[in-house]
Amino acid sequence: MPINDEVFARMDELSPAERKVARALLAAWPAAGMESAASLARTAGTSTPTVLRLASRLGFGSWPEFQARVRDEIADHLNSPLRRSQEGIAHGDGGTLGRAIADRVALVESLGTSVPPSEFDRAIAVLADRPKQVALLGGYFSRYFAMVLAAQLDQILPNVDFVAEPLGHDVGRFLQLGRGGVVVVMDFRRHELVAQQAAAAAKRQGATVLLITDTSLSPVVESADIVLPVTVDGIPFDSMTPLLVLIEALVEGVLRAAGSRGLERMRQWEESVRITRASRSAAAEGDVPAESGPREVGAGNVDALTLPSTEDAR
């Protein structure tokens, strides 16, 4: 298990002083792990012996031994997809379907150790506690999963938005975030500067920042109130399989926590979809004029996806 992941998993075991060190370590990971013990102690507002006790609790005999492990992990995480693919192909057992399935099942099972249960519960609580606004954003690949989470949460909660360009075209919606709002940031290696800047801006506005990231931890962790780390190692690219499972678990948790409010929101969505289908069916038969407007997309319901016809697109 990566060091930072282990620190998250064992946070409840630490003394108050050790937790200060752990937070300082994770807030600037992995750079903080390469500082001297005295320097990290000053940053955390504790003592050098406290830093050494944390290292010992993690199974290291000395601070230099701890730092050697950090250097090894940095080297591993900085490998490019090409490098990881070259090494995986050279040392792997072959690209069989069974092997691919087994690898991804293992990644899903790793959620039980990478995501601290207390952090998951806090994520459910802030999303279900009537937030004024929920804004979701992601990176180059993870934006598509942010869109999925937004589409599903929108059927349970009001005022949910996917924000494609929080510091650009969509800055108006993003600036609405404030106290009582929640921003969900998905940022996976290679971590993106815009995610860090957007999270910092949301934090300054008083919003709660929920970060979903890989186990090497995005720099967004400096602004995050809640962090859900996911193990995504894969070939040729990071595997998004465990991320999708985490998303589904979050949506189910929010629905259960929202209770009747969530079910009523879903009922309204279902009623809207039925009305839209009936209207379009009548329009197709020539009984009523077709309504213009955006197409309806019901997350998790293939029948609710209505695309324009070939003639409509002309």
CATH, residue 179 = 3.40.50.10490
Answer yes or no: do 55 and 144 share one domain: no
With respect to residue 33, please indicate whether it lies within any of the assigned structural domains.
Answer: yes
In 10-94, alpha helices (H):
16-27, 37-44, 48-57, 63-77, 81-91
Helix, strand or coil for residue 211?
A: strand
Beta strands in 122-221 (DSSP E): 133-137, 160-162, 181-187, 208-214
pLDDT at 91: 56
Domain presence at residue 99: no
Q: Are residues 254 and 267 in the same domain?
A: no
Q: Decide if 284 is inside a domain.
A: yes
Residues 126 and 225 in one domain: yes
If the chain, 314 residues long, is cut into consecutive pieces of 10 residues, what is the mean pLDDT of each piece? 85 91 86 87 93 93 90 63 54 71 90 89 95 91 93 94 84 80 91 89 93 88 90 78 95 95 91 71 60 40 38 39
Alpha-carbon span 212 to 150, nearest angstrom: 14
Which pLDDT value is given to residue 78? 52
| Same domain? 291 vs 225 | no
145 lies in the same domain as 246: yes
* Helix/strand/coil for 188: coil
Count of beta carbons in the 10 Å neighbourhood of residue 239: 19
- Three-state DSSP at 227 gives strand
Last residue of some domain: 51, 77, 103?
Answer: 77
- Asked whether residue 105 is assigned to any structural domain, the reply reads no
Judging by beta carbons within 10 Å of its beta carbon (0-12, 13-18, 19+), is residue 295 exposed, middle or buried?
A: exposed
| DSSP-derived secondary structure letter, 304 | G
The verdict on 174 and 35 lying in the same domain is no
Phi and psi of 234, rounded to 5°? -165, 175
Same domain, 171 and 203: yes
Residue 183 lies in a domain: yes
User: What SS3 state is found at 229?
Assistant: strand
Residue 306 lies in a domain: yes
Q: What is the dihedral of CA 259, 265, 267, 268, to 10 degrees?
A: 160
Whether residue 25 is found in the same domain as residue 126:
no
Q: Are residues 54 and 162 in the same domain?
A: no
pTM (predicted TM-score): 0.62
For the chain, the domain total comes to 3
Q: Are residues 7 and 50 in the same domain?
A: yes
Domain membership flag for residue 101: no
- Residue 276's pLDDT is what? 66
Whether residue 92 lies inside any domain: the answer is no
Q: Can you tell me the distance from the alpha carbon of 140 to that of 133, in angstroms, rounded to the nearest whole number?
A: 24
Could you tell me if 308 and 254 lie in one domain?
no
Quick one: pLDDT at residue 310? 37
Which residues constitute the domain of residue 12? 3-77
Is the Cβ–Cβ distance between 309 and 163 less than 8 Å?
no
| 165/231 same-domain check | yes
